Structure 1
Amino acid sequence: MTSWPRLDERAEVDPARHPFDAAEAADVVRRLAPPVPPVPPAAPAPRPRRRLDDAAWAASREADRLAAAWNAAMTDALMDHYGPWAYGWHWGPRSLWHYFSQIITSGPETLARVAAAIVDRRQWLEEVAERFDRLLPTLREAALAGPDEALAAWETAFGELLTAGSAWAEDPDCWLGPSSRLLTWLLTAAGLPVARSVALVDEALAPWLNRWAYLSAADVADVAERLAREVVGREPGAPAGPGRSGDDWPDTWPHGWPSWRATNRPPPHR
């Protein structure tokens, strides 16, 4: 098995560094794919209030094992051919295939689904690249203009990526992965070390790790500003410039979210 990448660095998934032809994806998958295991027989549905018997449970576990092994081999082959970015073909965010999915119904259908998933993965990365091509020059210009401008630009960029990550995920249970990746990639693309970028994003998103719902608008604003202040080097709650202070913000927001910017309430988390 190939040593699978974490994909924390933007260069690993930058489409400009890794050629790809969507029209050839189906042929590439057919050429590289290991033999597709036969479809296991469907396990009988358990009777009401009774679990699967031992034989049915064992058959289900074996089907999962075969599917996971095949997916791992397919991932190795795609990465060897396309590069590290292909590792995420089975994760999404708009994934047409889940990593532990059982083999679909037949070899041809399985391979067609894999090809569709790798094309979808690539299209998403190209959309990300277009967004970064717009955001990165703005961040560079703001850095030259001064810390207030840099703070505002980073906050805007982070807010946009958090919103985009949730929209791309298409499932409230899956927003965290795409959003975390996008924030980390932007930081590494802007020149921050990978370890520092990962630590900043992990800390910023830590309060929401176990929330299986999209971030609210207030949550997005909170994460974006906290992360921007860490990047620019301002203390949380410090005025960002003329006319901006902690007391300018309301004390509470929807969903019972108290603003840490307000000075007359204890912070919800630090």
Structure 2
Amino acid sequence: MDDEAAEALVSRVAPLLPGAGVGREDHRPSLDPVTEFLMGRYGRWACGWNWSVGEGDVDGGVVEVWCCASHSVTTPDATAPLVVAALQEWRGWLEDLAERFAALAPPENTEVSSVDLWYWERACTRLVTVVADRTQAESGWYGHCLQVLRWFLAFNGIDEDQAEEIVKNAVGGRFDSWIAPDVPVTDAVSSRFARGVGGIR
């Protein structure tokens, strides 16, 4: 999004934001029209615009420019540019993930073997590491990590239900809030992840 498009979006978002008469406790639900507008304009991906790091509107995201409704919402004129910046940051993360998915995908038509499972193990390790880093491994970070792993499997043509089962079995409560997984935990999760994929391919 160039500067002109961003400025135009700011002017569209500002009227949707809560005014001075809205209490702080009502700021979060008052952002629903903003989210609905962004999704209607750009697609479902835009719903993550306020998925901030730590204990924000939704736990465990990657967006740093937006804190949470109770702190980030002030006046419409001041808040609208934050919304647009948060949307851009979220979009940048999704584009970064798409590039990573393409780079980490195993070669087409690989046979299931210990060598080929290495691709899946490597992908899991790298994705867990980057999500832990981007979320700063704060509150609820692992929720987005599991989501990213499911997205990666979907990118590689694995059915949604199978992806859910593979990720659930691989992680199985081994990640915690406020702490990035150490190497042995990440290696164990990645190994189970690869074996799970190998079981269906």
Q: Note whether the superposition's TM-score is higher than 0.5.
A: yes
Cα distance change on mapping 1:94 and 1:103 into 2, 3 Å: closer
Cα pair distance change 1:185/1:35, threshold 3 Å: closer
What is the Cα deviation at residue 32 of structure 1? 4.1
1:183-213 deviations in Å (ceiling 9; x for gaps): 1111001111112212221332232354431
* RMSD of aligned Cα (Å): 2.3
Q: Note closer, same or farther for the CA distance 1:210–1:134 as it changes in structure 2 (3 Å cut).
A: closer
Larger Rg: 1
Candidates 123, 128, 132, aligned match of 2:97 = 128
Moved segments of 4+, more than 4 Å = none
In the other structure, the counterpart of 1:225 is 191
When residues 26 and 199 of structure 1 are mapped into structure 2, their CA distance, relative to the original with a 3 A threshold, is farther
**Equivalence for 2:174:** 208
SS of residue paired to 1:140: coil
User: What stretches of structure 1 of length at least 5 have no aligned partner?
Assistant: 1-20, 41-58, 235-270
Number of residue pairs the alignment of both structures matches: 190
State the shift of 1:25 in Å: 2.7
2:155 to 172, 181, 189: 189
1:199 maps to what in 2?
Answer: 165
Q: Aligned partners of 2:16, 2:48: CA distance in 1, in Å?
A: 21
Q: Which amino acid aligns with 1:140?
A: P
Q: Using a 3 Å threshold, how does the CA distance of structure 1 residues 22 and 202 change in structure 2: closer, same or farther? A: farther
Choose which of 137, 140, 160 in structure 1 pairs with 2:107: 140
Please tell me whether residue 63 in structure 1 is matched to residue 24 in structure 2: yes
> Which has the higher relative contact order, 1 or 2, with Cα contacts under 8 A spaced 6 or more apart?
2
**Once the 2 structures are TM-superposed, how far is the Cα of residue 29 of structure 1 from its aligned partner?**
3.6
Which runs of 5 or more structure 2 residues have no equivalent in the other structure?
A: 52-60
| 1:164 matches 2:164 | no
Aligned-residue offset at 1:99: 4.9
Q: What aligned pairs does 1:22-33 form with structure 2 within 5 A after superposition?
A: 22-23=2-3, 24-33=5-14
Distance 1:71 1:99 in 2: 11
88, 104, 120: which is aligned to 1:119? Answer: 88
| Change beyond 3 A, Cα 1:202–1:100 | farther
SS state at 1:27 partner: helix
| Alignment partners' CA distance in 2, 1:188 and 1:107 | 38
Same amino acid, percent of matched pairs: 29
Q: Which amino acid aligns with 1:64?
A: E
1:26 deviates by 3.5
TM-score of the two chains, using structure 2 as the length reference: 0.83
Return the alpha-carbon distance in structure 2 between the equivalents of residues 172 and 120 of structure 1: 18
The aligned amino acid for 1:213 is I
1:37 aligned to 2:18?
yes
Structure with greater helix share of residues: 2
Deviation at residue 147 of structure 1 after TM alignment: 1.4
The alpha-carbon deviation at position 215 of structure 1 amounts to: 0.8
Does structure 1 conserve the Cα–Cα contact (< 8 Å) formed by 2:38 and 2:47?
yes
**1:85 matched residue in structure 2:** 45
Using the size of structure 1 for normalisation, the TM-score is 0.64
Deviation at 1:96, TM superposition (A): 2.1
